[in-house]
Amino acid sequence: MTPIAQIGGGLDQRPIRVLIVEDHPALRGVVRSACESDPALAVVGEAITGHAALDMCETTDPDVVVLDLGLPGMGGTEVARRLRQAGSRAKILIIAGPTEDDRVFECMRIGVDGYLGKSAGTEQITGAIATITRGGRVFTPEQEARARDQLGAMARRAREASRVAALITTREREILELISFGLTMKQVATRLGISPRTVETHIAKLYRKLGVGSRVQAIARAASLGLIDLEEPER
């Protein structure tokens, strides 16, 4: 038994083991001193990159990972996603910058347990860690309301995508994909072994079905409906 545990909640109580993942030294210091101020908490490690965080999670098996969203390289959401995919039992507390507020919904989908802003003080941090360790969630009512709205918007988009997908033929989808890669009409024709004129006809039909007037709009709309994937996978 470690000394910290004895200071913590009596002899029979293990401390809550916390891994801090934050690249910014000052903010890392804030989280560390918050944890040190609470005898029930023990910092088992600190990481400044996503990859290091994943490694340390395996070696230290923390109860709680305090995770910065804005890590360089592999971002916090990706770290959280990989932890959940790997079946990690660690609770995840996100620390987000002010501009990253719209990622609450994404984080909820990944299955994080709490979400604090970078302005969070010592007591907010330790309180949040205590709450999520007990199985609770730390989201503000505003964050929850916004997430519900985003859920509604997502459902509408999914429904619309289904409707549009029913209209689009296999050939049209093929062409859509090719133009999203940046191929010209002529290149698409060559690739598919059909005449540019035919490609043009397909594209005109596509525009009508998607309700757009240009190639850029078509790609944007198709991507927003999830008919094509524009995002590059993160490292």
Partner 1 sequence: MAKRTRSPVEDQPPTPRRRLGVILVDPLHVVRAGLALLIDDRPDMEILAEAGTAEEGLEAIRRIRRARVVVLVGLGLSGDHDAYWLIRTIRELFPSMAILGCGANADANAISRALFVGADGYVDKNVDPVEFLQALRRVDAGEMVLVGPPSEWVGAIANGIDRSREADVVLTSREREVLIVAAEGLTAREIANRLGVRERTVTTHLARIYGKLGVRSRVAAIRAAARSGFVTVAPHE
**Sole binder of partner 1 in the list 59, 162, 190, 224 (CB under 8 A):** 162
- Part in contact with partner 1 (CB under 8 A); list of ranges 66-74, 121-129, 155-163, 175-183: 155-163
Q: Is 108 in the site for partner 1 (CB under 8 A)?
A: yes
Q: Is the dihedral of CA 191, 193, 198, 201 positive or negative?
A: negative
**Sole binder of partner 1 in the list 12, 98, 134, 166 (CB under 8 A):** 166
Output the CA angle 177-181-183, nearest 5 degrees.
Answer: 95
Note whether 194 and 204 are within 8 A (CB): no
Nearer to partner 1, 86 or 158 (CB): 158
Among the listed residues 87, 132, 80, the one whose alpha carbon sits nearest the alpha carbon of residue 103: 80
Q: Is 165 in the site for partner 1 (CB under 8 A)?
A: yes
89 SS3 class? coil
> Alpha-carbon distance 87 to 100, whole Å?
25
Q: Is 144 in the site for partner 1 (CB under 8 A)?
A: yes
**Sole binder of partner 1 in the list 73, 163, 186, 224 (CB under 8 A):** 163
Nearer to partner 1, 156 or 197 (CB): 156
Note whether 80 and 94 are within 8 A (CB): yes
Q: Is 36 in the site for partner 1 (CB under 8 A)?
A: no
Nearer to partner 1, 34 or 175 (CB): 175
Q: Is 171 in the site for partner 1 (CB under 8 A)?
A: no
* Range 37-55 burial, b when 16+ CB lie within 10 A, else e: ebebbbbbbbbbebebbbe
* Range 57-77 burial, b when 16+ CB lie within 10 A, else e: beebebbbbbbbbbbeebbbb
Residue 43, beta-bridge partner list: 18
Print the binding letters for residues 193-232 with partner 1: x by CB under 8 A, - otherwise: ---------------------------------x------
Q: Is 155 in the site for partner 1 (CB under 8 A)?
A: yes
Query: Residue numbers of the site for partner 1 (CB under 8 A)?
Result: 105, 108-111, 137, 139, 144, 147-149, 151-152, 154-155, 158-159, 161-163, 165-167, 226
